[in-house]
A and B are shown apart, each in its own frame.
Chain A
Amino acid sequence: MERTTTATTRPVAVLLERPPRQRTLSSTVIEFLRHSPLNLLGVVLIALFLFLVVFGSVLAPHDPIQPNVALKLQPPSPTYWFGTDELGRDVFSRVLSGAKYSLGIAFIILSIAVVVGTLVGLIAGYVGGLVDELLMRLTDLFLAFPALVLAMAIAATLGRNLQNTVIALTVVYWPWYARLVRGQVLWLKEREFIEAARAIGASPWRIVGRHILPNTLAVIIVQLTLDVGYAVLATSGLSFLGLGAQPPTPEWGTMIAGARTFFRDAWWYMTFPGLTLTLTVLGFNLLGDGLRDFLDPRTRRR
């Protein structure tokens, strides 16, 4: 109410004057999408699969778990778009319901890894000294293993289920974020605005929470986007080996493992879960790449 009155009482000239161009969130997003068609493709793919994580099970036209042996290994048809598997289950329904496992698990893994890694990185970078040295040597140890080999060893020793896959891959991923955040903190710590904050007597908590952390977010987000793809691949890879999700869970890697026996007779069975998996990873790789190029001033001018 108040806003309309002030607007109408303003001189017309002021109303006609356009406000100076500001970099609002929406204008940045539009600029990003216009930057490259691949960015748009990435966003569309991710939106689609995020939608499936939430609504996939609801949208599935058939029961993804209940076997119906009479219908086993049917080729794609109007009723069963992606055909059926060896137990007569609808592959399309299983692919839809699988999003929440394959992709959802990757989100859980990375959320934990980011929180742990960021905390360790902030502490190491801000406190410095012996604490920094100890924490960084700890990350060195974990980074000395090829990721999948370590994850496999952990998942195998803890037992075969999705919960242990989460533990295994979190252990593998957190050191990367600790490293990343620490580097950022070291760089930010010497900047003038941090010194200024310290000079006016801001507490360390306030400096880290209000000034350092927000400035590391962009780097974390880019890394995170790129890592979702890898985490999805790792989760499904472990499940393919039988170390992650167990049948009859409609996880994509588990489905491909099941399809392996039938790859000569039922091409659709392994094709569709694999394509879905590829498109999911592709979406995050496209977006991550796009974000990195967009935010990096060196490549921006392209």
Chain B
Amino acid sequence: MRFGILVFPGSWSHQDFQHVLADVMGFEAREVWHKATSVTGFDCFILPGGFAHGDYLRAGAIARFSPVMPAVVRFAERGGLVLGSCNGFQILCEAGLLPGALLRNASLQYRCQWVHLRLESTATPFTAALTPGQMLRMPISHGEGRYHADPETLRRLNGEGRVIFRYCAPDGTLPPEANPNGSLEHIAGVCNARGNVLGLMPHPERAAEGVLGSEDGRLLFEGLLARALG
């Protein structure tokens, strides 16, 4: 598997993804500058966290028009794997590759903390090897992560098993205090209709080594590894 990690001006998680995918997990991984227009030979694109283009206007609003994005959209439309974390999730929503939008945290605070996530669906290759109901622990680090979608979209996402993660308490329940940003229905991650594009606010790349407190972030990529080898 060859990963392309998109780097926008203001990205900040690209080197962590590079380290985890290449050094920790042994994948081929390469950074791709946002001005690249021809991007071939990749099996998966990562849109990392950060503040692409300063997050001016709205988080992801400018980045979605970066020169590299038409190629990423075409890649996704052909079924190519795309994962966006944090700012990457915001960019995927702005680009229309994922439904909904991410708004200012209800608390108005920037939240940098560990969260528990309940895996809701295995409808995407990133979670195909996991078990619904499985708990994962990863950090979040964002000021604009309150997921919003209109009622009809929300119904469709739930009905089609496209809500992938919800913020929850350690026991898997959904009390309001386990929702760090006020997301509708505790939603932390969703995928597109085909399942090949996944967006989540948490940072799997910051939870991929025991020394950092959790290795659960690796689970999203271990399934891909198994698939690639299988």
Q: Are A and B a genuine interacting pair, yes or no?
A: no
